[in-house]
Amino acid sequence: MKRDLKIFGIGGHNCKSVVEKVEILLDGELDKETECQLIKEINKCPSCLEHYAIDDAFKKFVKNKIDRKNCTKDLKDEILNKIKHIDTESEDAIEP
C-alpha cells in the first residue's frame, strides 16, 4: 500500500522525517526527551497522527497474532525483521 506523504505538514514540520521515526518510537527505542518531542510533532499533524495510528494498530495486531500462536522468540524476531524490511522498501518507494 502506497501512502502519499506531504513533505511539509501543518506548522512547517517535515511529515516525512516524523513518519520515518514512528517505527523507532513504537519499538521503544527513543530516549524520553526525544520521544516526547516526536509525540508533540505527531500530534500537530493529522497525516502524521494517522500514520502513527495505523502503524501502532498493525504492530499490535501482529504481536497479538504471534503471541496467540505461542511461537518461539526466534520466529517472532524473524517475522518482525521481515516486516521492518518490507516497511523500509515501501518507504524507499515513496521518495520522490
Model pTM above 0.75 = no
In contact, 19 and 30? CB cutoff 8 Å: no
Residue 39 confidence (pLDDT) above 90: yes
What's 8's DSSP letter? B
pLDDT at residue 91 above 90?
no
Q: pLDDT tens digits, residue range 44-71?
A: 888 899 999 999 999 999 888 776 667 7
C-beta separation of 21 from 55 below 8 A: no
Q: How far apart are CA 22 and CA 94, in angstroms?
A: 16
Confidence of residue 32 (pLDDT cuts 50, 70, 90): very high
Domain positions in the chain: 10-94
- Bridge partner list, 8: 14
Q: Which amino acid is at 71?
A: C
Residue 35: other Cβ atoms inside 10 A: 15
Average pLDDT over every residue of 6-28 = 77
Residue 21 has pLDDT above 60, yes or no: yes
